[in-house]
Amino acid sequence: MKIRMLCYGSLRRHLGVPAILVMLLAWPRPWRVWAEEPGTLGIVVRQIFSERQPNHRGPLAVLQVTDDSPAAKAGIHCGDFIFAVNGVPVPGRELSEIMEKEIDGPVGGTVRLTIARFDGSQSEITLVRVPYPPHVNTASDPFVYVVPGVWDNDPRYKFPLPWAPTLSYHGYVDLYFSPNFGRTDSPEYHSYVFFMSLAGTHMMSAEQVEKTMATWFRGLAVERGGNFGFTPDLSKVSGSYEEDPAAARTAGGGEARAMRGTENIWDTHGKVVTLNSEVLILNCAASNSTAFYFSASLEPRDGPMWKQLHAIGDTFRCAR
Protein backbone atom coordinates (compact mmCIF):
# COMPACT_ATOMS: atom_id res chain seq x y z
CA MET A 1 0.00 0.00 0.00
CA LYS A 2 1.42 3.33 -1.00
CA ILE A 3 1.46 5.99 1.73
CA ARG A 4 0.62 9.42 0.35
CA MET A 5 0.67 12.78 2.09
CA LEU A 6 -2.31 14.79 0.91
CA CYS A 7 -1.17 18.12 2.45
CA TYR A 8 2.54 17.55 2.02
CA GLY A 9 3.10 20.65 -0.10
CA SER A 10 1.58 23.08 2.40
CA LEU A 11 3.25 21.40 5.39
CA ARG A 12 6.66 21.55 3.77
CA ARG A 13 6.23 25.20 2.83
CA HIS A 14 5.18 26.17 6.34
CA LEU A 15 7.70 23.97 8.16
CA GLY A 16 10.57 25.00 5.91
CA VAL A 17 12.35 21.65 6.26
CA PRO A 18 13.73 19.13 3.77
CA ALA A 19 11.42 16.29 2.77
CA ILE A 20 13.54 13.72 4.58
CA LEU A 21 12.81 15.39 7.94
CA VAL A 22 9.07 14.90 7.61
CA MET A 23 8.50 11.38 8.91
CA LEU A 24 5.15 9.90 7.98
CA LEU A 25 4.15 6.88 10.01
CA ALA A 26 1.13 4.79 9.06
CA TRP A 27 -0.70 3.17 11.94
CA PRO A 28 -2.08 -0.38 11.74
CA ARG A 29 -5.60 -0.47 13.06
CA PRO A 30 -5.84 -2.98 15.93
CA TRP A 31 -7.11 -6.43 15.08
CA ARG A 32 -10.17 -6.54 17.23
CA VAL A 33 -13.92 -6.54 16.90
CA TRP A 34 -15.62 -3.66 18.67
CA ALA A 35 -18.51 -4.66 20.90
CA GLU A 36 -20.17 -1.58 19.40
CA GLU A 37 -20.05 -0.12 15.91
CA PRO A 38 -16.64 1.52 15.19
CA GLY A 39 -16.79 5.25 14.69
CA THR A 40 -14.73 8.02 13.12
CA LEU A 41 -13.84 11.65 13.75
CA GLY A 42 -13.35 12.25 10.03
CA ILE A 43 -9.60 12.93 9.99
CA VAL A 44 -6.53 11.27 8.53
CA VAL A 45 -3.28 11.95 10.43
CA ARG A 46 0.39 11.12 10.25
CA GLN A 47 3.14 11.70 12.79
CA ILE A 48 5.84 14.32 12.27
CA PHE A 49 9.54 13.76 12.89
CA SER A 50 10.78 15.60 15.98
CA GLU A 51 14.44 16.19 16.87
CA ARG A 52 13.39 17.10 20.42
CA GLN A 53 12.11 13.60 21.22
CA PRO A 54 14.48 10.64 21.83
CA ASN A 55 12.28 8.43 19.68
CA HIS A 56 11.67 11.28 17.16
CA ARG A 57 7.87 10.98 17.53
CA GLY A 58 6.38 14.46 17.19
CA PRO A 59 2.88 15.92 16.90
CA LEU A 60 0.26 14.63 14.50
CA ALA A 61 -0.37 16.45 11.23
CA VAL A 62 -3.91 16.48 9.86
CA LEU A 63 -3.67 15.37 6.23
CA GLN A 64 -7.32 15.03 5.30
CA VAL A 65 -10.67 16.06 6.74
CA THR A 66 -13.82 14.32 5.55
CA ASP A 67 -16.62 16.61 4.43
CA ASP A 68 -19.51 16.92 6.88
CA SER A 69 -17.60 14.95 9.54
CA PRO A 70 -17.29 15.94 13.22
CA ALA A 71 -13.80 17.32 12.51
CA ALA A 72 -15.00 19.39 9.56
CA LYS A 73 -17.96 20.77 11.50
CA ALA A 74 -15.60 21.74 14.36
CA GLY A 75 -13.38 23.73 12.01
CA ILE A 76 -10.37 21.39 11.85
CA HIS A 77 -8.44 21.79 8.60
CA CYS A 78 -5.83 19.93 6.60
CA GLY A 79 -2.48 21.24 7.86
CA ASP A 80 -3.50 21.63 11.51
CA PHE A 81 -1.42 19.90 14.19
CA ILE A 82 -2.58 17.79 17.12
CA PHE A 83 -0.36 18.23 20.18
CA ALA A 84 -2.50 16.39 22.75
CA VAL A 85 -5.34 13.87 22.81
CA ASN A 86 -7.64 13.78 25.85
CA GLY A 87 -5.16 16.02 27.66
CA VAL A 88 -2.18 13.71 27.12
CA PRO A 89 0.68 15.18 25.01
CA VAL A 90 1.31 13.49 21.68
CA PRO A 91 5.10 14.11 21.21
CA GLY A 92 7.13 11.11 22.32
CA ARG A 93 4.25 8.67 21.99
CA GLU A 94 3.72 6.03 19.30
CA LEU A 95 1.04 6.83 16.73
CA SER A 96 -0.34 3.28 16.83
CA GLU A 97 -0.90 3.58 20.59
CA ILE A 98 -2.64 6.94 20.24
CA MET A 99 -4.92 5.62 17.52
CA GLU A 100 -5.78 2.38 19.30
CA LYS A 101 -6.34 3.76 22.79
CA GLU A 102 -7.78 7.20 22.15
CA ILE A 103 -8.73 8.23 18.61
CA ASP A 104 -10.24 4.97 17.38
CA GLY A 105 -13.27 3.65 19.22
CA PRO A 106 -17.02 3.05 19.09
CA VAL A 107 -19.67 5.40 17.78
CA GLY A 108 -20.75 7.96 20.38
CA GLY A 109 -17.40 8.15 22.18
CA THR A 110 -15.82 11.56 22.76
CA VAL A 111 -12.25 12.61 21.96
CA ARG A 112 -10.68 15.90 23.08
CA LEU A 113 -7.99 17.29 20.77
CA THR A 114 -5.52 20.09 21.40
CA ILE A 115 -5.12 21.74 18.01
CA ALA A 116 -2.36 24.15 16.96
CA ARG A 117 -2.34 26.17 13.75
CA PHE A 118 0.35 27.92 11.74
CA ASP A 119 -0.90 31.32 12.89
CA GLY A 120 0.12 30.40 16.44
CA SER A 121 -3.41 29.90 17.76
CA GLN A 122 -4.29 26.89 19.89
CA SER A 123 -7.66 25.46 20.86
CA GLU A 124 -9.31 22.54 22.65
CA ILE A 125 -11.90 20.76 20.53
CA THR A 126 -14.11 17.90 21.70
CA LEU A 127 -15.43 15.59 18.98
CA VAL A 128 -17.95 12.74 19.08
CA ARG A 129 -17.34 9.69 16.88
CA VAL A 130 -19.95 8.96 14.21
CA PRO A 131 -20.44 5.94 11.91
CA TYR A 132 -18.08 5.73 8.96
CA PRO A 133 -19.81 6.94 5.78
CA PRO A 134 -19.55 4.42 2.93
CA HIS A 135 -17.13 5.01 0.06
CA VAL A 136 -19.19 5.81 -3.04
CA ASN A 137 -17.43 6.70 -6.27
CA THR A 138 -18.00 9.89 -8.21
CA ALA A 139 -21.39 10.14 -9.91
CA SER A 140 -19.77 11.05 -13.24
CA ASP A 141 -17.89 7.71 -13.39
CA PRO A 142 -19.14 5.19 -15.98
CA PHE A 143 -19.66 2.56 -13.26
CA VAL A 144 -20.95 2.38 -9.69
CA TYR A 145 -19.64 0.80 -6.48
CA VAL A 146 -20.02 1.07 -2.70
CA VAL A 147 -17.26 0.08 -0.22
CA PRO A 148 -17.68 0.02 3.59
CA GLY A 149 -16.49 3.23 5.19
CA VAL A 150 -14.17 1.46 7.64
CA TRP A 151 -11.99 0.40 4.70
CA ASP A 152 -8.96 2.56 3.87
CA ASN A 153 -8.33 3.91 0.39
CA ASP A 154 -5.67 5.59 -1.69
CA PRO A 155 -6.35 8.65 -3.85
CA ARG A 156 -7.36 7.71 -7.39
CA TYR A 157 -4.42 6.70 -9.62
CA LYS A 158 -4.40 7.55 -13.30
CA PHE A 159 -2.50 5.58 -15.93
CA PRO A 160 0.43 5.27 -16.29
CA LEU A 161 0.49 3.79 -12.78
CA PRO A 162 3.48 4.75 -10.59
CA TRP A 163 4.35 1.11 -9.86
CA ALA A 164 3.53 -0.29 -13.32
CA PRO A 165 4.17 2.44 -15.92
CA THR A 166 4.44 -0.06 -18.78
CA LEU A 167 0.72 -0.88 -18.61
CA SER A 168 -0.32 1.21 -21.59
CA TYR A 169 -3.99 1.80 -20.77
CA HIS A 170 -6.03 4.98 -20.56
CA GLY A 171 -8.10 5.27 -17.42
CA TYR A 172 -7.77 5.12 -13.65
CA VAL A 173 -7.72 2.84 -10.60
CA ASP A 174 -9.41 3.13 -7.18
CA LEU A 175 -7.84 1.03 -4.37
CA TYR A 176 -9.46 0.02 -1.07
CA PHE A 177 -7.89 -1.92 1.82
CA SER A 178 -9.55 -3.94 4.57
CA PRO A 179 -9.27 -2.33 8.04
CA ASN A 180 -6.53 -4.77 9.09
CA PHE A 181 -4.81 -5.06 5.71
CA GLY A 182 -1.35 -4.62 7.24
CA ARG A 183 -1.79 -6.90 10.26
CA THR A 184 -0.11 -10.27 9.69
CA ASP A 185 -1.96 -11.63 12.74
CA SER A 186 -5.37 -10.79 11.28
CA PRO A 187 -7.51 -12.92 8.92
CA GLU A 188 -7.97 -9.69 6.95
CA TYR A 189 -4.25 -9.47 6.17
CA HIS A 190 -3.68 -8.41 2.56
CA SER A 191 -7.39 -8.36 1.74
CA TYR A 192 -8.26 -5.58 -0.65
CA VAL A 193 -10.15 -4.58 -3.76
CA PHE A 194 -9.60 -2.27 -6.67
CA PHE A 195 -11.79 -0.85 -9.39
CA MET A 196 -10.33 -0.01 -12.78
CA SER A 197 -11.88 2.00 -15.59
CA LEU A 198 -10.34 1.76 -19.08
CA ALA A 199 -11.34 3.70 -22.17
CA GLY A 200 -12.69 1.46 -24.91
CA THR A 201 -13.48 -2.25 -24.87
CA HIS A 202 -11.07 -4.54 -22.97
CA MET A 203 -12.94 -7.79 -22.32
CA MET A 204 -9.73 -9.63 -21.42
CA SER A 205 -9.20 -13.35 -21.57
CA ALA A 206 -7.83 -15.22 -18.56
CA GLU A 207 -4.39 -15.18 -20.17
CA GLN A 208 -4.54 -11.41 -20.65
CA VAL A 209 -5.59 -10.91 -17.02
CA GLU A 210 -2.63 -13.06 -15.91
CA LYS A 211 -0.23 -10.97 -17.99
CA THR A 212 -1.65 -7.66 -16.78
CA MET A 213 -1.56 -8.69 -13.12
CA ALA A 214 1.99 -10.07 -13.46
CA THR A 215 3.15 -6.63 -14.63
CA TRP A 216 1.15 -5.00 -11.83
CA PHE A 217 2.55 -7.18 -9.03
CA ARG A 218 6.13 -7.26 -10.31
CA GLY A 219 6.15 -3.48 -10.34
CA LEU A 220 4.59 -3.44 -6.88
CA ALA A 221 7.25 -5.89 -5.64
CA VAL A 222 10.02 -3.55 -6.80
CA GLU A 223 8.33 -0.59 -5.10
CA ARG A 224 7.80 -2.53 -1.88
CA GLY A 225 11.36 -3.80 -1.91
CA GLY A 226 12.65 -0.25 -2.18
CA ASN A 227 10.34 1.02 0.55
CA PHE A 228 10.87 -1.84 3.00
CA GLY A 229 14.47 -2.86 2.38
CA PHE A 230 14.41 -6.17 0.51
CA THR A 231 15.23 -7.34 -3.00
CA PRO A 232 12.36 -9.34 -4.53
CA ASP A 233 12.94 -12.23 -6.92
CA LEU A 234 10.51 -11.22 -9.65
CA SER A 235 10.43 -14.73 -11.07
CA LYS A 236 8.39 -15.73 -8.02
CA VAL A 237 5.58 -13.36 -9.01
CA SER A 238 3.01 -15.36 -10.93
CA GLY A 239 -0.70 -15.83 -11.34
CA SER A 240 -3.22 -18.26 -12.74
CA TYR A 241 -6.81 -17.50 -13.77
CA GLU A 242 -9.70 -19.29 -15.35
CA GLU A 243 -13.07 -18.09 -16.52
CA ASP A 244 -15.99 -18.71 -14.20
CA PRO A 245 -19.12 -18.90 -16.40
CA ALA A 246 -21.33 -19.53 -13.39
CA ALA A 247 -20.43 -16.13 -11.93
CA ALA A 248 -20.68 -14.16 -15.18
CA ARG A 249 -23.52 -11.67 -15.30
CA THR A 250 -24.68 -8.52 -16.99
CA ALA A 251 -24.59 -5.28 -15.07
CA GLY A 252 -26.12 -2.07 -16.29
CA GLY A 253 -27.08 -3.79 -19.51
CA GLY A 254 -23.51 -4.59 -20.57
CA GLU A 255 -21.58 -7.74 -21.34
CA ALA A 256 -19.70 -9.21 -18.38
CA ARG A 257 -16.93 -11.73 -17.80
CA ALA A 258 -15.94 -13.33 -14.48
CA MET A 259 -12.70 -15.07 -13.50
CA ARG A 260 -11.10 -16.56 -10.45
CA GLY A 261 -7.54 -17.54 -9.70
CA THR A 262 -4.49 -17.02 -7.52
CA GLU A 263 -1.58 -14.58 -7.37
CA ASN A 264 1.85 -15.24 -5.85
CA ILE A 265 3.15 -11.84 -4.75
CA TRP A 266 5.69 -10.20 -2.43
CA ASP A 267 4.19 -8.61 0.66
CA THR A 268 5.69 -5.65 2.53
CA HIS A 269 7.65 -8.00 4.84
CA GLY A 270 9.71 -9.50 2.01
CA LYS A 271 7.68 -12.71 1.96
CA VAL A 272 5.93 -14.41 -0.96
CA VAL A 273 2.24 -14.95 -0.21
CA THR A 274 -0.55 -16.48 -2.28
CA LEU A 275 -3.72 -14.47 -2.76
CA ASN A 276 -7.02 -15.93 -3.83
CA SER A 277 -8.53 -13.50 -6.30
CA GLU A 278 -11.59 -12.90 -8.39
CA VAL A 279 -12.11 -10.54 -11.31
CA LEU A 280 -15.32 -9.18 -12.78
CA ILE A 281 -15.13 -7.29 -16.09
CA LEU A 282 -18.01 -5.19 -17.39
CA ASN A 283 -18.39 -3.75 -20.88
CA CYS A 284 -20.05 -0.39 -20.19
CA ALA A 285 -21.08 0.22 -23.79
CA ALA A 286 -23.01 3.43 -23.10
CA SER A 287 -19.79 5.15 -22.04
CA ASN A 288 -17.47 3.22 -24.40
CA SER A 289 -15.45 1.97 -21.44
CA THR A 290 -14.60 -1.20 -19.55
CA ALA A 291 -14.87 -1.52 -15.78
CA PHE A 292 -12.99 -4.05 -13.64
CA TYR A 293 -13.58 -5.24 -10.08
CA PHE A 294 -10.59 -7.11 -8.61
CA SER A 295 -10.88 -8.67 -5.13
CA ALA A 296 -8.13 -10.54 -3.30
CA SER A 297 -7.43 -12.15 0.07
CA LEU A 298 -5.21 -14.75 1.66
CA GLU A 299 -8.39 -16.19 3.15
CA PRO A 300 -9.96 -19.23 1.43
CA ARG A 301 -13.01 -18.39 -0.65
CA ASP A 302 -15.36 -19.99 1.89
CA GLY A 303 -14.00 -17.69 4.64
CA PRO A 304 -15.86 -14.71 6.13
CA MET A 305 -13.64 -12.20 4.33
CA TRP A 306 -15.07 -13.30 1.00
CA LYS A 307 -18.59 -12.53 2.16
CA GLN A 308 -17.47 -8.91 2.44
CA LEU A 309 -15.67 -9.00 -0.90
CA HIS A 310 -18.69 -10.49 -2.66
CA ALA A 311 -20.99 -7.95 -0.99
CA ILE A 312 -18.83 -5.14 -2.42
CA GLY A 313 -18.93 -6.86 -5.80
CA ASP A 314 -22.73 -6.98 -5.67
CA THR A 315 -22.77 -3.15 -5.73
CA PHE A 316 -20.56 -3.01 -8.84
CA ARG A 317 -22.36 -2.23 -12.09
CA CYS A 318 -22.25 0.05 -15.12
CA ALA A 319 -23.94 3.36 -14.48
CA ARG A 320 -27.34 3.56 -16.10
pLDDT tens track, the chain, 320 positions = 233 344 544 333 333 333 333 343 444 444 444 457 899 999 999 999 999 999 999 999 999 999 999 999 999 999 999 999 999 999 999 999 999 899 999 999 999 999 999 888 999 999 999 999 999 999 999 999 999 999 989 989 999 999 999 999 999 999 999 989 998 999 999 999 999 999 999 999 999 999 999 999 999 999 999 999 999 999 999 999 999 877 656 555 567 899 999 999 999 999 999 999 999 999 999 999 999 999 999 999 999 999 999 999 999 999 86
CATH fold for domain 8-129:
Pdz3 Domain (2.30.42)
Where in the sequence of the chain do the CATH 3.40.1000.10 domains occur?
135-318
Instruction: Tell me whether the omega of the peptide bond preceding residue 160 falls within 30 degrees of 0, making it cis.
Output: yes
Q: How far is CA 212 from the centre of its chain?
A: 21
* Residue of 76, 14, 18, 83 lying closest to 44 (CA atoms): 76
Q: How far is CA 210 from the centre of its chain?
A: 23
* Report field, pTM of the whole predicted structure over 0.85: no
Name the pairing type of β-strands 105-106 and 110-116.
Answer: unpaired
Q: Which CATH number fits domain 135-318: 3.20.20.30, 3.40.50.1980, 3.30.420.40, 3.40.1000.10?
A: 3.40.1000.10
How far lies 178's CA from each of 17, 68, 186, in Å?
A: 34, 23, 10
Name the pairing type of β-strands 135-136 and 192-199.
Answer: unpaired
Where in the sequence of the chain do the CATH 2.30.42.10 domains occur?
8-129
3 state SS for 223-267: HHHHHHCCCCCHHHCEEEEEECHHHCCCECCECEEEEEEEEEEEC
